[in-house]
Structure 1
């Protein structure tokens, strides 16, 4: 595997105006910067994915905190643990960008049901309008919000943007061995599935003035469901 310095040197921490945050970016063409989007395969240890069906858990007060998320474990496999070490190197890059002791520690908890560490990827359903005054509001996909529970929370202070979107796929192999992706609904994922998550590293300023680094989920692809199907088979 590459040493972190071989690829992390290409990236810089860049402040984004809307929504206000800091992202890991690199030069794309000329002086233009593009966000670094990374990929990690692992086993789903826990999840909170759409559709949103329970209105009692969604309110105007809770809207800024509502999110979807998935926690992956690598069963202590060396490649997964090495990838988590790389994530720690990314944190150190962010840590040196902010004033001393102005970012929360990077914590990757152990898995409660298997060896090794875990990492959680998430994405909020809403963006605060005061943090993104010019971003366009987009509707929630029907597979995410079939009962308009989230849509009914949109107002002048909170909205759903492209930055909040997560895509859901299943990977399959064609006869020529090429890999393809097809869209699947988010309820298709199960604990024990092997998945591939695409994500970016994003830091936010909290109300306390401290900063926090989060791996923000942009897509999740089902790679192998055989193990979760066998585990829950009642035959």
Structure 2
């Protein structure tokens, strides 16, 4: 089924503090730069979202890549913490594959007693509302029409920096 290609993992961050405002300005600058460098093509306007009256941004990554859009790379299984009952994986191989490009890394920074920071892999379920996180994202331009492009932000990894609210 084609709808399986739309299944994705996403995180929405609220913007309202200075570091988030700085990031938003940076993202808008990337959008403006991309818009200026597309001769003959139109980049869709930037779309921001709102969550509890604060500007927010969503970052996501699809679980699967269509076989039509395949790049070289090994086929992978979805991590057990993402697809514990292999419901999504039963569709792999029909029209789509899970590739390295579809993986999202989950990490946490821990400060040890000597002040040394260590980054460790964590389970997806460890991330909660209220945690201070740092994201690694990439930006892609995709065609949405004959002469139209859209800039999307793709989630690569998420790292808990501080468990502020637990």
TM-score by length of 1: 0.65
Matching residue of 2:105: 167
Mark the runs of 5 or more structure 2 residues left unpaired by the alignment. Answer: none
Distance 1:110 1:87 in 2: 16
Contact 1:103 1:211 in 2 (8 A): yes
Is 2:14 the counterpart of 1:73? Answer: yes
What is the CA distance between 1:149 and its match in structure 2? 0.9
TM-score by length of 2: 0.90
What is the CA distance between 1:100 and its match in structure 2? 5.2
**Pairing 1:12-51 to 2, within 5 Å after superposition:** none
Mark the runs of 5 or more structure 1 residues left unpaired by the alignment. Answer: 1-59, 230-235
Matching residue of 1:192: 130
Distance 2:164 2:31 in 1: 34
Is 2:163 the counterpart of 1:225? Answer: yes
| Superposed CA offset, 1:190-233 (max 9, x none) | 12221111111111123x33221111111111122232x2xxxx
**Pairing 1:54-203 to 2, within 5 Å after superposition:** 60-74=1-15, 76-99=16-39, 102-113=42-53, 116-132=54-70, 134-203=72-141
Contact 2:109 2:119 in 1 (8 A): yes
Distance 1:95 1:216 in 2: 18
Aligned residues: 165
Distance 1:111 1:99 in 2: 35
Partner SS state of residue 32, structure 2: helix
Partner SS state of residue 190, structure 1: coil
Distance 1:182 1:97 in 2: 39
Could you say if the C-alpha distance between residues 189 and 133 of structure 1 is closer, same or farther in structure 2, counting changes exceeding 3 Å?
closer
Distance 1:125 1:85 in 2: 29
